[in-house]
Structure 1
Amino acid sequence: MRIENLPLAAHGLFTCQAFYDTEQEPLVYYYYVHLTVQVPVSKPNLLLSDASPEEGSTMWMHCRVENGTEPIHYVWQHESHSGSITNFPQNSSSINVTDLTREHTGWYRCVASNAVNRASSEELWLNITFGPDAPQVDVTPYSLTERGYSALETENVSLSCQAQSSPASQYVWFYNDSQVHTGPHFSITKILRVHTGDYACLAQNSYLNTRSRKTISLTVYYPPDGSPSCSVEPALNHTSLRLLCSWPGGFPSPSLHWTGDPVLAGELTHPLSRALISLPSESLTPNSSLFTCLGSHPALRQQAECSVRTHVPPAEPQCYSNVSRDLQHLMLSCSWDGGAPKALVWWEGPGGLSKGGEENSNILVLRYGSAHSGKPYTCYAKHPLVQTKTCRLTLVPVSKPSLLMSDASPAEGSTMWMRCSVENGTEPIHYVWQHALHGENFTTFAQGSSSSINVSDTERNHTGWYRCAASNAGSSASSDRSWLRVTCKH
C-alpha cells in the first residue's frame, strides 16, 4: 500500500491479513503496523507583551508554533547592539523577564525544533526605555577649578551635554535659571566676564515624561586694567625700604613678584593685587638700585611690569634762615631733595626745641627775637640707604655797629652817605636810622635791610645827632651817636 501526501489522519494502527488454504481448514494471519506521522514544526511567531518596556519593569515573550509534533524544544536568542548573539536555553514557549535593564535591549528570536526539523521566528526589536541618566557636561577649553570650570575672557567656549536615555533626550540650557539654548551643544563666542555664572543642562525624555539636570559653575577670568604701579617708601622710621606694587582689579587677583637687587634672590610671589616687601637698610647699597615688579595673570599671555629705582639724594642737606616781611617770625629751613624714597628731615634746637620729621624739607618757625644766639639749631636728614646727615645754623649776635659818614660837615645842597657797619651777625640784619637835634630824643627816619643810606641835597635842618641800630633774630645793638653839621652857603 502506498500513501501519497501522507496526512496526519494516517497516524495509527494498520492491520495486514494473510489467508492460507490448507487441507484441514483455512488459516488467517494478522500483521500489525503502527504508523507514526511526524509533523514538522511550523515557523514560530514571536509575541512580546511590550516592545518598549521601561527599565525595571516586567514583561513576557511567547513563541507560538501552530503545528509540530511534540515534543517541541525551544531556544531563545538575543542579539545585542554590538552584534554578539547569546543563547539562553529555556525550554518553554513563554518566558517572563523581571527587573528589565537597558542591557536587555536588542533583537530577539525564538527557535523551535522537534524530531523532524528546526524553525526560527522573525527577529523582533526590544527597546528598553530608560533615563535620562544624570547628564555629563563637558566644557571646552577644559579648565577645572575648585568651584567648577574657568574660561579666559574673549575665548570661544563650548558646552556639551550628554545623558544616557532611550529614547534620546532633548536638551535645554539655562544660564542663572533663564533658558538660553536648546540642543546638546551650547557655544559662547568670545565669552565676557558678565557671562560668569551657573549653567544648567536639562535632559528630558518625552516618552517617559522624565528629566534630569546637571548644573556647573563657570567663572570667566579677566585681567586687571593697565599695568602694575610701583612705588618705594621708607619704613620703620626710615631704617628700611618698603617696595609697594599694586595692580587692582581682575579676577582672579594677579600674581606679583619683585626681582632686581641681589637682596631679592629668587622670586617673592604674592597672589594679591598688592605686593609689599620690606628691606632693612643693612641689606641695601647707597648706589642706585633697580627693582622690578612682574605681574602675571592667567588671562594674559605676557607679563606686565613696572620698576622703581632707589638712590640717595645728591649733595648734602642745606640749611638757611629767613625772616618774614613783618619781622614777626624767623624761619629756619632745611632741605634734602632728590632721593628715592624721600628723606626724612627734622629740627632740634637749644632748650629742647624740636620740629617733627617731614619729607624732603622742614621749616622751623620762631618768633622774631626769641631765637637763642650762639647755640646751634641742628637739622637731621635721614635716608634708608645712608647714615643720618646733619647741617646746623648758629645765630651769631650782631656786634655793636659803627656809624660811618662820608662827610661829617657837608655843604648845604651837597650829597653824602652814612653807613652802619656791623662786623658780625647772622643775616638777615635789620637796620634802623635815627636822628636827634638836641639831647636824647631820637626819632626813626629810615629802616630796612640796607646797611647804608644816601642823603642828597642836604639841608641845614639835617644838622644833628645820628645813630644806627642793627638787629637780627637773636639780638640787637646800637652804635654810638655821631654829629653831623650842614654848613650854609655864603
Structure 2
Amino acid sequence: MTLKNSGLSGVWICAVLSLLPQGSLCQLKLTAAGPVHNSALVGDTVTLAVSYRGATNPALIWKKGSVPVVTWTIDSSTPPDIAPSMANVLRVSANGSLLFENVTLDYTSSYSVEMTKSGQGSATLNFTLTVYEKFENVTLSSQPDSAVEGSERFTLRFATARGVVQENKWFFNDTEIQSNSHYSVIQTSLVIHTPNRTDTGLYTLTLRNPFSSATVHAIITVLYGPDEPVLTLSPAQPFYVSGTSLHLSCRAEGLPPPAVTWMFGGKTLNNNNNDNAKGVLNLTDVQTSQDGVYTCSALNGQTSTSRQKNVTIKVYKRPKGSPVCSVRSLSDVHLQYECSWPGGAPEAVVTFPGLSNSSRAPGRLSLNVTATDSLSGTPVSCTASHPLQQGMCNITASAPIPFLPFLTFGVDLKGKIRVTMSCLSAVLPTPVVSWLRGTEAVSNGPMTSISSTQLTILDYNISTFLLHNYTCSCRNLLGVQKRQIQLLAPAISDSSLFTNQEGTVVTLTWEVPPTSIVTGFDVQMQGPDLGRSYRNDSRGTSRSNVFRTIQQKLGSARSADILSLDPKKTYKFRIVPKARLAEGEPSKVIQVGPGEGLSKSAIAGIAAGIPAAIILLLVPMGLIFLLIYKNDDNDQARYPATTDKGMKTKAELASNNIRMAGGQNTYHYLDQVPSERSMDLPTFVPPPPVRVATTV
C-alpha cells in the first residue's frame, strides 16, 4: 500500500516502530505511576513511582530540590550512586522509581527525576513529599505576659514538642477568629491589636495534619489603668559609644503602684533582677544592635489599665579597620574611583578632595572622572569622617606594566593537545586582555576558548600550534602592554643524572623551555634489562644496544627514579619529550656504570707504565727517523676515510626534530596515567671525571 501524505507516513512509521523492541521506539517518554503530591508519617515507606517507555537502559538523575541525590543507568551492572547521607533511606527500583524507607522530616521537599537516552531525548517529572509527625505537648505562650488595654498588641503563640502543622485555627469563646484589623493570624501566633477589656475570655487553638490533631485552651484577662510614665536616662547623653553602660528608669503614678516592663523591638526585656520591678532597665556593654526605641509599659493590676512611653537611644560604633580605595574602568573614557569605610554606626562620610570638593556620601562613594595621562601613576586620596574617628586611603591608577606570560599544557578528554596561555599585568584599573594570532584577532571557536585573562587552544596536530606567533595585549584606559608568545616543539633544554652510593639507583632530572609544548615524557634506557642477569640470556646483547622506553611521565614531571641497576654494568639514559603522540628531539645521552672511565687500579698501572713506555718508544722512533731521512721517495701517510653510520647530518636532525611515535610502544595519555614517583634527590655527589693519557 502507498501512503500519499508525508505526515501520515510519519504516523505509520512511529506506529510500526512502537511494535519493535524497546530500543527502537521513537522517543523516550516518562510518566508518573502514582501521585505526584505525597504525604507520609515519620517512619513510613514512600514511593515516588515512575514508568518509562521509548528507550532501553536510560540514565536517570533524582534530585531533592536542585541537589542530585541518586544517579543510575537502569539495568546497569553498576549499582545506583546514592548520596552517602541518604543511603540509609533512599532506594531505586528497577524501573527508576524512588523509594523512601523509614522516612524522616528532613525529606520534606520537592523532587524531580530526569531520564536521558542518547538519540532518544530526555524527560523530566516533578514530585512533592511532605512528612508529618503526630502532635505532642502543644503549649500556648503570650507576649507580653498580660494583655493591657491600649497597648500596641498582645500575642498568643503556640509551640509543639513534636508534630508538623498543616492547618491551625484560633477560636474566641467558640467563635473562629479571622484576620482583620483587630486580629492577625500569623503562622504560629495570634496577635490582638490594641487589646481592650472586651477581649477577655477563652481562646482555643486547634491543630491538624493528615495524621493527628490537637486542641489547647487559654483564658486571657485584659488589664488597664495607670497615668503617663516618666522616663529618665543615666548618664544623660546625646549618644553612647559601643561598649559603655547606661540605665533607663520608668516611673508611673497609680493606685496601686503599677508594674513596669520595658520593650525593645517588639520584645519584652527582662533584667532578671529586682530593678525591673522598679522600672529600671540596665544596659551593659551596649552594642549598635541595641540602638533604637525603648518602650516603658506601666500596668496597674487593680484597675487593669496600662500606659506606655518611648525613649530613643543612639549607639555609635567606630568603623572597621581603615578606609578602602579602588579604581576600575567605566565605559571607554571614564575611571571610577571608589572609597568605602564600612562597619561604622552611623556610617562614615567619605570624599575624594583631590577629585571633587562637593562629592561625598555615607559609607561608600563612587566618583567617575575622565581618564587622562595625568592620572596615570598619580596617587588619589580618600578622606573618611566619623563622629568617633577619622581615616584616609590612597589609590593609584596606572597603565599596564611589562609582564611575563604563563603557559600550561595538557591533553583533553578527546585526545586533543591543550595549550593555555595566561597574561596579566597587575595594575589598576584591571586591564582587558585580548589576543592576536599573527595579525588576526582571536575569538572563541572550535579550537580556541577565551576567558578573562586566558587563551586556550585545542588541536590534535602539534604543527598547528607552531604555525603562528600569538600576541597578548593588556589594555586599560591609561595604556597598553603587549607580549609575543612563540610556541615551540617538544624539547629538553637541560638534563642531568645522580646516583646513589651503591650505584643501584639513578635519578634523572631535566628542564623544558618555557614555551615548549610538552604533555609527557618517555624515559629511555640503553643497556641490560633492569634487575636481570645476562650470563645465560642470549637476548641481552641485542636489547642492550638499543634505546627502549622504561618509564612514561606526565608533562609536569621533571625527574624520574630508575631502580635495580647493576653497578657492574653500563647504562645509557635519555628523555624524549612528547606532545601527545608527537615526539621531540631526545635529550643528551647520559651514561652511568664502568664505561664512564678507568678504575683506580687501571689508572695506577698506566701511571707506573708511562716512564717505561717513553724509553721503549725512543728506540723505534730513532730508527723510523733514519729510514725517513734516507728514503727519497717518501710517501705521504694514507689514512682510510672515517665513516660513521650512526652520525646524522643537520638536515636529518632537523627533519627528526618532531617525529611521530609508532609501533607497539606508543603510549596514549588519555588511556592511562603513568606511574609517578616523587622522592628527595640522593645526597651522593659523583666523583669528578679523571683524564687519562694512554700511550700506544
For Structure 1 versus Structure 2, the TM-score category normalised by the shorter chain is 0.3 to 0.5
Q: Which is helix-richer, 1 or 2? A: 2
Larger radius of gyration between Structure 1 and Structure 2: 1
TM-score (norm 1): 0.42
Q: Which is strand-richer, 1 or 2? A: 1
